[in-house]
Amino acid sequence: MNRIVYIIGLILILSFQLNAQRREVRAVWIATAGRLDFPTVQGVQAQRAEIQSFVDACKRANINTIVFQVSARGDAYYSSNFLPWASNLTCFSPCQDPNNLGLSPGYNPLSELITRAKQNNIEVHAWINTFYVLQDTLPAYLNVITYPPHPAIKDSAGKRYWKTEWFAKTLSGQMKSDGGFFFDPGNPAVRAHIANVATEIVKNYNVDGIHFDFIRYTDLGNEVLLYGDASNYWFTNRTDSANGNPWNLNRNDFARLNIERLLKMVADSVKKYKPWVKIGTTTPGVYTAAAMGLNCSVWELYSHLRSDPKAWASKGYIDYHNPQIYWNMSTCPEFTKIASWWKNNLSGRQAWMGIAAYRIGEPNFGDFNEVKNQIVYTRLIGGAGVNFFRFRSMVSSINYLDSLALDLFKYPANIPPMPWKDNIPPNNPSNLIVQKIGVDRYKLIWNRPQVASDGETAEYYNIFRATQPVDQNNHTHLYKITASADTFFFDTVPDTNQIYYYAVSALDKLDNESGLSNVVTTNIEYDFTQLPQTAVLYQNYPNPFNGITKIRYRLFYPEKVQLEVYDLLGQKVCDLVNEYQHSGEYEVEFNSTLYNISSGIYFYKLKTTGRSSIKTLVLIK
């Protein structure tokens, strides 16, 4: 019976085309731990090219978010005052990993990714492995002097030591667990360090989000790492409400409280410096089996790992949670039950469903159709979107990202807004016009919207194109999303015999969307003399002149501009300007001595799309 219900459900899901596709997170994790995704090549230029390949692949597939692992094991893939450079950037076989800790790679991977992603309107979230600081065995970092030092190392009395008082431990004092070593969330110094790491990223980099992974305790057989030198002290402290335990909580509740304290610190810091930056967390997917109605034994986030995203969301410390739901839809623990529970238990904050791309092809998971079904199910229940673990699993021997671009991700999608951070949309763009500049080539120009009541205007725009009147909520009508606030767009139409409708909407920093501009079509033959004024050319000064004169002009729209000088016979003397320029006023110097010309009358011509202006100048030697 359950099997029949499941099959019927899948049929309904796969036949259901949701308008929610207009606004959904489409994210991919790029992992640096163990070089799972980056870097796989050595050298500055090769690694930069690798970063560009990530952006290109995401752009082709209409992926709108990259979650980039900037700190995997207490190291950094960006310039930091708190963490040393990651050895993975400069350590390639044969080499000694510790010898490359803190060694600058000669460029900044996080800055590089942000620059390239922003050119394609792709968000970048900085992914931090929160408490996971060392892997497997203690490496020989003690003998390596770096600035800044690895956070697990301290200097005292001229010697270097492991900062073991920061480590989580079992009751018997054992530190290693779950493949590595973890910092203790119960230590206030640990929380301050992690908050400093996050704040530094927010202040210094144009990230869209901070993304915390391993934001939990960890299991070691029947013992959990709930102990540590400082944790034990603060657990028994009954007076300090900031770090201690005046409420006499049990050790499990005290553990959950300390992670919550960290997130509050980060939330307060983000609010102070850049309130538009999003705070997200990712954890194993099962909160508790009982709460989710699961009929199988599984690792539980709340009870086993002492982590509580439900509470973080209800208190406003996070903007989204990204549960790692790394199972299929038909066997326990079912993706469907877990995804639905998170959607309904985050107090209205966003639920990004983590999808196990790395398991595609496993017998107990399924083929790529399983992933596609999970995407559609997320849409069906109103989830904010999906995040694939991980990039190279999606572009392996089969490029699954390109496959998604053919159907489920065929059309671009905006990232859903977060009304608790900002719920005021921009005003509408206005005065949209279309110019025919070729047989199949058109240029759209519009006016930037007036400033909204919150002082914001457009950060970028949606371009709608359809063969019928534009419907703003129809995902098939959203044609392109611009990467800047420029108020123009060039388009090549696929069928010159077809009439196309265009409209534009404006979006602010947090993805609130305006209504539509006026709608225009391609079936109007424009008289270019009736187009709105796009540029003004002023008389040169001085005029007449001897040697040097100044030419001013003003652009009302961003344009490709040419400013040329001609003689009376129509022969070109020179090009003064030949480039794309933003709207504004410009002044150009014409130095006649550079061109060996004689006294007389000359013309200067300003050309922009669809029109030109000409004025005379007089040279007297």
How do 278-284 and 209-213 pair as beta strands? parallel
Query: What pLDDT was estimated at residue 1?
Result: 38
Q: How sure is the predictor about 221, in pLDDT bands with cuts at 50, 70 and 90?
A: low
Domains 430-529 and 533-619 alike in fold: yes
189-206 pLDDT, tens digit each: 999 999 999 999 999 999
Compute the distance between CA of residue 591 and CA of residue 574 in angstroms, rounded to an integer.
Answer: 10
pLDDT value for 533: 66
Res 372: pLDDT: 97
Per-residue confidence band for 178, with pLDDT thresholds at 50, 70 and 90: confident
Predicted confidence band at 530 (pLDDT cuts at 50, 70, 90)?
Answer: very low
Q: How far apart are the first and last CA of the chain?
A: 98
Do strands 488-492 and 441-447 pair parallel, antiparallel, or not at all (unpaired)?
antiparallel
- The torsion defined by the Cα of 471, 475, 476 and 482, in degrees rounded to 10, comes to 90
**Hey, is 417 helix, strand or coil?**
coil
CATH number of the structural domain 430-529: 2.60.40.10
Percent of the chain with pLDDT over 90: 80
Q: Where are the domains of the chain?
A: 430-529, 533-619
Q: What is the mean pLDDT of residues 404-425?
A: 97
Q: Which CATH fold would you assign to the domain 533-619?
A: Immunoglobulin-like (2.60.40)
pTM here is: 0.85
Q: Residue 11 above 50 pLDDT?
A: no
- Choose the weakest-confidence range: 106-110, 157-161, 380-384, 447-451: 157-161
Per-residue pLDDT for 223 more than 50? yes
pLDDT in tens, 87-97: 999 998 888 78
What pLDDT, on a 0 to 100 scale, did the predictor assign at position 159?
A: 86
Q: What is the pLDDT of residue 439?
A: 85
Rounded CA gap, 422 and 402, in Å?
33
Tens of pLDDT, residue by residue over 97-135, are 888 999 999 999 999 999 999 999 999 999 999 999 998
Per-residue pLDDT tens digits for 454-483: 999 999 999 999 999 999 999 999 999 999
> Strand 159-162 to strand 65-71: parallel, antiparallel, or no bridges (unpaired)?
unpaired
Whether the per-residue pLDDT at 528 is higher than 60: the answer is: no
* pLDDT level of residue 220 (50, 70, 90 thresholds): low
